Amino acid sequence: MVQRERISLLEFNQRFPSQKECIEHLFNLRWPNGFICQRWNSQKYGFHSGRFLYQCKDCRYQASLTAGSVMHKTRTPLMVWFWTIFMVACDKRGHSALSISKELKISYWIAWTLLQKIRRAMAEQDRRYKLKGIVELDDAYWGDKDKGKKRGRGTTKSKVLVAVSTDTKKEHAGFVKMEVVKKLNQDTVSKFVKENIEPGSKIQTDDLNIYNALADLGVEHEQYPLVSGEKPLPWVHIIISNAKTFLLRNIPSFRSKTPTGIFR
């Protein structure tokens, strides 16, 4: 499993103390061997800082530093982008546009726009990636309490499938997949697994019968009794708890209604 580098707020500030370091970081990601003109193969260039453009001195071909990223054609300082991405990535409770606006001293509209672009990029990356290795899978329910209605799996709350990849010792969690579904049955579970989990993975679930068909999908399947007294799926339950905390903090209408497809 690939482990992401974790850095503290102080380390992040030391690494990116100004716009200059942000530009250098993006430059090294795009041109790790130095700038090379795509047309003339020249390494002589000039830099237009206002537009983040590198221009070949031989043929005047221009290449954008931010092309292909959520920051392309931005007028917002790269430092603001870097800090917004860092804050979104590091806080499990999530950040609202209002909190970003206050903490970075930018307008609410700019904060909202940055968050929308970052979340779309995260969602696109999520769609392309599939979980693999050991994967915990469980179902959850979002919404206000059912008054006088069924509880548990008979509830009318929004139904969500949640999967998280872990290491063999259960010491670290990896990537997470969530999807709001209309029904919890073998068909929706099978569809979710096919779209989000690599064949050959080991999927761990409780012993609900909606998971019985997983072994037919080219994965190894381990089931644990619901009343075993053990906690064989610790990470998926942590993820569910954190997701509910995030929704309560960032979506005012969450307590009365969960938006269908919010995790998709």
Cα 41 to Cα 59: distance, rounded to the nearest angstrom: 10
Mean pLDDT in residue range 51-72: 91
Q: How would CATH label the architecture of 134-255?
A: 2-Layer Sandwich (3.30)
Is the pTM value of this prediction over 0.85?
no
Cα 158 to Cα 170: distance, rounded to the nearest angstrom: 28
pLDDT in tens, 32-50: 999 999 888 889 999 987 7
- What is the pLDDT, as a whole number, of residue 255? 46
Is the pLDDT higher at 127 or at 18?
18
Q: How high is the mean pLDDT of the chain? A: 84
- What is the pLDDT, as a whole number, of residue 28? 94
- What is the pLDDT, as a whole number, of residue 90? 83
Is the pLDDT higher at 144 or at 2?
144
pLDDT in tens, 114-132: 999 999 988 887 778 899 9
- What is the pLDDT, as a whole number, of residue 4? 55
Q: What is the DSSP letter of 32?
A: T
- What is the pLDDT, as a whole number, of residue 230? 65
Mean pLDDT in residue range 238-245: 85
Q: Is the dihedral of CA 251, 255, 257, 262 positive or negative?
A: positive
By percentage, how much of the chain surpasses pLDDT 90? 54
Asked whether residue 148 carries a pLDDT value surpassing 70, the answer given is no
Q: Is the dihedral of CA 197, 203, 206, 208 positive or negative?
A: positive
pLDDT in tens, 194-217: 999 999 999 999 988 999 989 889
Mean pLDDT in residue range 53-78: 92
* Domain boundaries for CATH 3.30.420.10 within the chain: 134-255
User: Strands 45-48 and 53-56: what pairing?
Assistant: antiparallel
